[in-house]
Structure formats: structure tokens, C-alpha cells
Structure 1
Amino acid sequence: MTTNAATDPMIGRMIDQRYRVRSRIARGGMATVYLATDVRLERRVAIKIMHGHLADDAAFRERFIQEARSAARLSHPNLVGVYDQGAEADTAYIVMEYIPGITLRDLLQEHRALTPEQTTDILRAVLAGLASAHRAGIVHRDLKPENVLLADDGRIKLGDFGLARASTQNTATGAALLGTIAYLSPELVTRGAADSRSDIYAVGIMLYEMLTGEQPYKGEQPMQIAYQHAHDTVPAPSLLVPGVPSELDDLVAWSTARDPDDRPRDAREMLEHINGNQQRATGQYRTAVLRPENATAILPAGAPGPEATDATTVIPPQGGTGQAGTGPTGRATGPTGRGRNAPGPRRTGQAPGALSPASQRLADKATKRSKRGWIALVVVVVLIVVGAGVGWWFGPGPGGNVRIPEVAGKTVSQARQLLEAEGLRAADRTRTRFDAVVAKGEVSATAPAAKREVRKGTPVVILVSNGPRMITLPAIVGQSVTTAQAALDDDFDLQDPQYQFSADVPKDTVIAATGRATDGSAIDLSTVQEYGERGPVTLTVSLGAVPDVAGKSAADAQATLQQVDLTVGKQTEQYDEDVPSGQVISATAEADPVVRGTAIDLVVSKGPAPITLPDVHGKTINQAASTLEALGLKVSYPDCTNVLCGFYDWKSTLPVKGTDPGANATVHKGDTIRLSYDQ
């Protein structure tokens, strides 16, 4: 689709005083790609500019820039190079290598299915570039034919590295999402987790599509396709296109296994497998490296070129009859070309030592050539001097290029000194910006950015940190830990949670949230409404109440506490009338608050305390019973059967003769003591 300046205001715009936008190449859900000219280096580049409504989201904009920096770390012949990134007037952009040509999607739409040889050529190039990224710890996350570029000169490059995550997060429904869903791995569909094996799955889907001309899973809704990714197995391409080699069937099955552990661990392993198969191939589908039609050929040494018959012959200088040269045959010859002993024609009237007319003409030509040689030498010297002057001017001189030094974290005066020492001009006025890392008042960055190569004398604006951007805190205390982390993760730096036991707060609920002030002191975030962007946040999470081990045996109590990462501290024993011997009476923590690893002290019952039975011999029955019952003992005695007992209070009169057990015996509370008396 053609676009002019009337329909797209970016056409003709100069970005960062360096990139002149020429035309629009493509438009996606996240950004628009334009063809531009780098006026400083006079080369064509592709510049990706984030959509304006996304640039207003600071978090998304920061992610866009960070992903560009990740992609810029990669350098491989099969990866689209990233030259630069920056922002201007709330517009974030990435400058990339411009690849004139088509995409793999265009090729598939034109030819539908590819041959095994063509498929393997493209697959090797994609895996080679992807292996370089995987070695750097970068996962593409959005592999699809639209991101495989086929250059006009035969090169194959993988593009849009590192930007797929942001793109998918901002794609809602429709064809854009459907195109991405078609290559999502099962773990991305079910868990949202991506690693190098997720890229391998997408490569396997593309391999199937190149061999068959269609995607393995189809559906009217994205969820239908996602369900098939999670539950179905990709069929063999040979079922749809007979003649596909079995090795490629196996490669599709291996790379699209539903379990990530059953796939190649990264692109390098898959590429090495393909190369191994090619070395063992017997002609079934050996891959040939395609070369451009107009490639320059280098002739081997000794091979005759197209103009070998017109080789230059060096003529030796000629003198008088006594001088000799070397003829084409290698023999010594005189000026006439004959042999040394052959008689030459005699000249009459010629003074001794004078040159013949032919020799004189040769001498005159030699003199002219000598003059021309001196003139050429003077010209060369002048050119060398001029070249050295130009080199000095554009090198160490005032017209050369320098890299902007890194001044983040310096004071403004220190930054000015560093810039001026490199031959740059620090702008008189500084600008401020929010910075979550650099302290307020210190230099945050420069415009143009650090490490950019610019001309000496270029004005550089110093950006001073205004501290972190203050963000309104969501509700934290009393929320579940997963809810709180999801609310805080995009704007703040979540530290590892701290856990403690609490009898009042349910398990996995946030008890407190703590931040850090500029002086390093702790801040209770429940007492403030705003907190600095990317500031550290530590959540204190409840582990629930300490298990109640009262009434358990000491061994059971220890096992119960160990299950929640608590240990048993001191164990003491004491008598208890209500708790049986060997059972825990109480448990007390040695520290407050109680965290994992805290020791719990146990008090274990020894049962009721022993009692020495007193001697109640001679006391009346009522007196003896009162004494024993006061000790917690039970008393029994037989009824009086004497007829006289009915006429007086015999319990207050009759003396105790003995007890069972006897006096001084060891008894326990609750035991029954039997009294005896004479009736």
C-alpha cells in the first residue's frame, strides 16, 4: 500500500536530526515500519516507530526500548541488525538494517508449498540466527513467516527480535492475533511461560507450513486454535504431501512435541541435528547453498582470464650495438632482435657513440616518461598530504566523529567537563526527566544518548534526574500475595517476600509492605499513598497460625512443627493433674514474630504429682476422711452394722484403725483410700 505525506504525517519528517523518513513499508499492531535515510552515514535504514497511543504508556515504552537494546546485542549474518534506538517528542523508535526483498509469508502465498531443498535452506538460516540469540539468553517469542526476510541478493534474515512479547500483549483479537496464535507453543497457551523450546515449537510449525503450504491447526476463533496446540499432535507433512522425506517428518514431530522436554533444547541442537543428517545424506534431499546469479567469481591462480591473450609485455631498454636485452625466447639478443653473434646492418656517416634514429626516438620517449614520472610523483605526494590533512580533520581534528561518553550518575559540572574533553559542546540549558535508578539532581542521560557516534562540536543536552516518578499505591495489606504481586509488578521492583506465622491473618495474605526511602530507611507502605517508580517493595506474607501441638506426644509435636519449617527448642517436664504423662502441656515460641526456622519450646506433662499418704490412725472416721479428701484423695469405708450405731453419730465417734494402702505409701491425686475401724 502506498502512502504519501498527506495521509501519514511521518513521511518527510526528520527524526533526531539524523533519519529522514521516506515511505511506509508496513504497519502492525504495535508499530509502523518506514524506509528512511540516515543522512549522517548516507545509507538506507528501516525505522520502526511505536504507535502514539502506546507511547503514552510509560511501562510499555520502557519495555519497547529495553527489548530493542536486547536485540541490538545480537550480531549474526542471519539476523536483522539493530543500529540505534531512541525517543523524540514522545515517539519511541528503533533503527534497523533495511532488507529489500520479500518475507517468507509472501513466498508461501506465491508458491504455496516449497520443495524439501528450499525448505531446508530457509530452515538452516532461521536456526543459525536463532541459535545466536539463544546463546545470548534471548527468546524471540514471535516466530512466524512474516518475520523471516528473504533479501533480493539471496540472504535470509530473521527480524523483529525481542519485540514479540510486547506485541502479543497489545494484540487483542482478529487476524493479528490469529497469525500469532498459529505458532504459539502449548506451554505459552496453558501457562504463559516461554523459553528457547517455545521458539523451537514455532520453527516446527513453520517447517510444516513450508512443506505443506498450510498451517497444521485451523479454526474460526483463536481459542479453537489454541486448544488444538495444547491437546493435539502436529501430523506428519507427508500425510498431506506424499514424497516429503521421512527425516523432515521426524524433524517436525521432534520440534512440535507438546512436552517442552521432548523438543530440542535450543536452536543450536536442532541445527546440529540437521547438519548431521546432511552429512549422512545419500542424495535423497541434500541441501544446496543458493548463490546470487550475478555473484563475483574469483579465478584460481594460473587460470587464464578472458583477456589472457592480450597480456602486457615489458620491453627492455635498448642501447647501442653493444647492449643486449632478453627476447621472448629467453635468449640474449641485440637491438635488432637477432642473436648476439648475428651480423647487424652497418651504418655509414654515423659518429662513434651516436644513436641511431630508432634508438634516439626510444631515448626521447624514455625522457618524456621520466618527466611524466616526476610529475606523477609530485601529484601522489600532494594527494598524500591532502589525504592526511582530510584524515586529520575528520579523525582527531575538529571535523572527526567521537562517541558520547557515559555520564549517568555524575554531577552536571562533571558531565560538562567529560563532554568538552571529547570535543563536544554541552548545551547551556539542561532538561529533567524521571529516573528510577539515578538519584535526584544527578545526570540521568544525554541527548543524543551515550555511546552514540557524532561529529565533534555537536551540542549535547544533559538530562538531569528528577528522581523516580511517583505512582499511587494500590491496596496491598489484606490482599492475597498473588493479587498484590500482580498489582505491583509492572511499576515497582518486587523483592523476595518475607514470611511469618500469624494467628490473626489467613495463610498467603499480605501482613505488611515495606519500601525504602532515599536515605536507606524502611518505609511502611501502608502509611503512604504514593511511592517512587521501580522502588523496592518487600511483602510480608502470613503463613497462618503456629500449629497447636498441646495434647500431642512430644514426638508427634516435633513432627507437626517440622512440617511447617519450625524446630523444637527446649523441652521441660512438669506435673499436671489434667494432662496425662508424656503429652505436651504447652508450646511457646522463642522469638516474635515467628518465622520459618524459629525454635518452639515444649512443656511435657509428667502426670499428677505423687502424694505421701499421711497417718490417720486414731482419728475419727470424719476427721480421717476430711484430711485425705483435702489432698485430692477419695475415701471409702464400710457401713457400721452394730445395732447401737443407729442411736448415735458413729462416724464422729469411732476411731480409724488403719488404711489401705497404709500410712506413708505413695499415692496420686484421685486414688481411693479405704478406712478400717472396730464396730
Structure 2
Amino acid sequence: MDRTDSRLTGRVLDGRYRVGRTIARGGMAMVYEATDLRLDRPVAVKVMHEGLADDQEFVRRFQREARSAARLSHPHAVAVFDTGDDDGTLFLVMELVDGRTLRDLIRSETPATPARALALVEPVLSALAAAHAAGIVHRDVKPENVLLAEDGRVKVADFGLSRAINAETQHTATGGVLIGTVSYLAPELVVDGTADARTDVYAAGVVLFELLTGSKPHQADNPIQVAYKHVHEDIPAPSSRTPGIPAYVDALVARATARDAALRPADAQVLLQQVRRVRLAVEDGVTEDAELTADLLPRSYAGRGSSPTEDLDASTTDELPEILEPAELVGIAELVGAGSAAGAVDDREHTRTSWEPLGGHAPGPARDEAGVYDQERDTVVATGPAAPLLPPRQRHPVDGGRPDLPPSRTTPTRSRRGPVALLLVLVLAVAAAAGGWWFGIARYTDAPAVLGLSRAAADARLDDAGLSLRIADRVYSETVPRGMVVSTDPEPGGRVRKEGTVGATLSLGPERHDVPGLRGSTLDAAQQQLLDAKLGYGDAVERYSDDVPEGQVIASDPVAGTALRRDAAVDLVVSRGPRPIKVVDWTGKDADTAEKSLTSKGFEVTRTEENDDTVAAGDVIRQSPDSGTLVKGDEVALVVSEGPVMVQVPDVVGAGVDAAQATLERAGFEVEVQRASLYIGVQYVVSTDPGAGSSAPRGSTIVISIV
């Protein structure tokens, strides 16, 4: 598993999903925390183990189930976002739920009160009801597939391994493959491989039993015996293990887990309504409700008392056929433990904040340190022809008729031909041994070790061993130099036919990709260029730039042309546009100084002049703009004062005082009258100050002297 972790962690699948830490391990898949680079959100990615993508039928089934699961949108179902095949890596992208599993809760907080147990099961049934309404059967309802988010949400996971109900799946659960977790398998799934909504109802009933009691209903030393008990024994009443549970809660569990599927609720929606009825009674403090109990009890309990805790009487027990003898159980157990041809029991540990992929490929039943079958790790995948794990269950009419019994076995009569037959068997055995020796040993030799050798050296070594070399593939390698042998098929020491061929995979050396030139690209375009170059996008830092427009890439780190490993992260420097510069107001100040200061900051300064009676010449009358921020190259306009308007003083010498005063005022001057030193009272102007013909500011005062 560690090799798989290091191979995928940090890799970007399908150019979009960056794989992070491992959060779950299973026999058929591993689940990783990942980041959707396109939408910048955390997701969970389930990656099927190597080799599964080579099975085209599996790939088609996987994609079909993924599309089926993606149709399901419900607040209590883990959403399926995407599926893909990245160069032989088959994966499923799902919603990431941060929290723990219901299995974690069962281990630490059970037995739970009936109110708590029903409150936990209700959202599970709500999700299953939505699935059943959409024609989807989950097929693997168990505590490991129920996620408890830190914010209190309850989510059902792994709908991606279920199949839509259709004509094709009405007759066999998985097309000849029995998939499920033994402790939660409905009897009909064990007996004849059929599965429908009532199969999920049965599993949900077992989960409710486990919440109420803290233990699984059927205990045994191996998964086959547990499956046998599901077929032959009713689920015990929860109150038999946790006293004090009301009889109507026992009846609810009995109804959901009835061995006859016809006696169970038709689907999760029906069971959900029953759970709500029972939960209301529990929350109201009802300890006994005979009517509710009788209403919930499956019809198979009629005539056996009011409680499912009562033992079956002898006549009822007689109606249950002996499907398998102990010796036959051993045979099936050997079949299930036979490796890839039969199946396996998943022995993985449950992982927090995740769920466990269905299936397993470990050789044989999982056992704990004491060597006893561990029922908390009991996922079974049994493959083979489209046939049930156990013979079809014999049905009995309601009137109590007994089933037809198989014909009794008789001991064959001894024959005098015994010695001849024995001799014939011995001859055949010797012939078989000789044939086995030839076909299994004599025709084969050991493949020599050529790892790390050049192609020529490997060819020579294989030639010395009477074998030939075939180049099967070329792959990148961080440890094996270019042109050297990375791996062989068969491996060194493996069996190969004499004068046969050994396939060799040669190293292309370390995989390196050049950082593309990204300056001037938009951020989205730069990310796409990195993905196209088989590199990853790291982070973006914004900086001001006077020559690169806002939103475009200024530079990359490492710089363009640098050779990096596949999916290595490249950071980008993105322009924020020109740096803003604060504008200072120069109104009323020296214009030359203002122009020099503004120009030094990169502004373009325009200057115009005009007269002003109040602003001294050479000072700034007004500025635009006079506040806020600008960037280099922006324009600042200055209006500079030329001082007041100058007017020529009219000649009023010799004019009467009134006429002179009127003339000067019309010219825009103020007039002040003074008597000359020789004043005689005739009221004529003898002089002006400033003198006639000179220029004076309009509005200034002209002094006239009179005699």
C-alpha cells in the first residue's frame, strides 16, 4: 500500500485533481483527499487498484455505476462529481466529508438509547429512500459507509458501487459476483444472488440492531457461518442483549430484518415512515404500545406470541430446511478462501473521515491476533459463474407443508474388479505425474536477473541462458539511468519456457518537463499551459507592474525553460497593474516648484497661464486633479497666475474734478482726491498718481490733485 501512496500523492489526475494524503484503504480501491484545481475545492478521489482498468467489462460496469450514482442528489448522500481514466488509473471523484464513520461511533458510544439510534438511522433511510425512488440499490449498507460530519450532518457513501434496478439485474445481484459485507447480507442475496430495495432495508435493520446493542446480531468464526446464520436464524431482539428496549422497537427491527423479503417493508421510504412512528413513541416516553407492536411485527410471528424474543416452537423449526451440512460449509469456505478464483475477506482497518471501498483480495478470512474471524472486517467478494453462494432456499406453503427432501445417499456395492480399478488408477496417476512434471517443470527455466543492465548486456545474459529479449515498454524512472532495464516479465527467478522470451521495460531516465514561457498570459491561460506541459500550478503572488497589464503573468518561479519533474508545482507572479501614486495639491504655491515635483513622480504636467487679481503672478491658481491617486503617465493640469489685468491711466489733467473722477472709474480704477499745496478752490485737476499714460492694475487707486 505504501508504494501506491507514494506513486499517487502529488500527482494530478486528468489534469485537474491533485492527489493528497490517503484517507482510506480497501481491497479494490484507495481513497485520497484531493483538490479540484479547476474549481479550487477539496474532494475525495477513489482510485481503483492497478490492473482493474485492464478489465474492460469492469471499466464499463464502473462507469455505468458512477453515472447512476451521479444522478442521485440528496442532502444525506455523498455526492459523486466525476469519474475518469488517467492513463490506466481508474478513479471516482466524490464529495469530501470531514468527520468520522458510524463504525467509530458504534465502537465508542454504544449501546445507544433507542432515541439516539433511531435519530442516526433516519437520515440513512432518507438517503436510501431517494436512491430507491431513483431505481438505485446501494447493496452495501453498513456503518463504514455512513459518515458523520463534524457539523452534525449524516451522509451515506459508496452509492458508486450500486447498480440501477433494471431487467438485467433483477435475476442476479452482480452478474455472477456476490458482493457485500457478510454481517449485513440479506438471506436472498446469500441464497440466490438477487437484490432489490428490500436488501438495503435488511442491512439498515442490522445497523439499527448494532446501534441498539453495540454488537452484530450473528457471531461466528468465519464469514460462511455468518452467512449461514442469516439464512437460517432470525435476527435476535435487541432487548435480549440490551434490556429495557420497548417491545415495539424490537418489532421494528424484526420487521426490517425478516428473513422472507416479502415480509419486510417494500423499500426504505416505507421503513422510514415506520421509524418515524417508533421514534415519536420513544420521544413521548411510551414504554408499551401493544397496537404499534402488533402492527410492526412481521406476519411470520403470528401465533408465536407478542414478542419476537420468543423462541421458535418445534413445528416452526421443522419448516426451516437444512440447506447445508457442516461438511458442505467447509467446501464453500475453501471456495471463498481460494484466492483470485473465489474471493476474499477484506481485512483493512477503518479510517477516520472516510469510508471504505467495497471488495477485497486478501487470501482468506481476516483474523485478529487470537486467530478468530473479525466480524468488524468482513467484506466478502466471491467471484465465479453467475450462481448463488448457497443453494436456492426451499420455500414452504403457509399450511406448513414440508419440503421435498433430497434422495438419500446409498453405499455402492463392492466389485470384484477392485484390484484392476486400483491398478488403472495407479497407472493414470503415474502418467499424470509425468505429464505434470513435463508441462509444469521440465519445459521451464528460471529467468536470469537483468535489472539495471543496458539493453545489450541484458540481451547477452539472456542469450547465454537460451532466452531472447523483447522490449515491452519504456518508462520514466528517477532511480534507473536511461537505457537500463527497469523491470522484466517474468521477474528475476520467475518461470519462463526454455528458449522463450523475457519482456523488458527500459528506463527513459528521469521524467522532466520544461516550464513554458508564461509572461503576458492571463492566470487561467497560464494554468492551462502548465497542465498541458504536465506541470502543476502552485500559487500566485500579485505585484505592481508599469509595463504588464493587470491580471497578466509577469514571471514564473522557477523561470521559463527550467526542467522539472512531472506535476511539479510552478508559482506565478501576476500583475496588479501600475502602482497608484498619491496626488499633492499645489494650489496657491509656486508653479515651477509644483511642475518639477509632479514630473519627478512620473506624471505628465500641462501648464496654462491667466490673469488673476488675487493670486500672485507665478503661483498656481488651480490644479486638476488636486487629490486622489494616479499612476505613472497620467496627466496633471496646472493653471498659473499672470497677476491682475493692467490698465493704462487716462489723462485727466485740466479736467474738472467730477469729470476726471468719472473717467478714471470707467477705466476700472478707484479714485482718491487730494488738494494741491496751491489750492485756490477752482476744482481743476493739476496731476495724477500714477501719471497719465502709465499702466496700473485694474481696480487699483488713482490719486488726483486739485487746485
Q: TM-score of the superposition, structure 1-length normalised?
A: 0.40
The structure showing larger relative contact order (alpha-carbon pairs under 8 Å, at least 6 residues apart) is: 2
- State the TM-score, normalized to the length of structure 2: 0.38
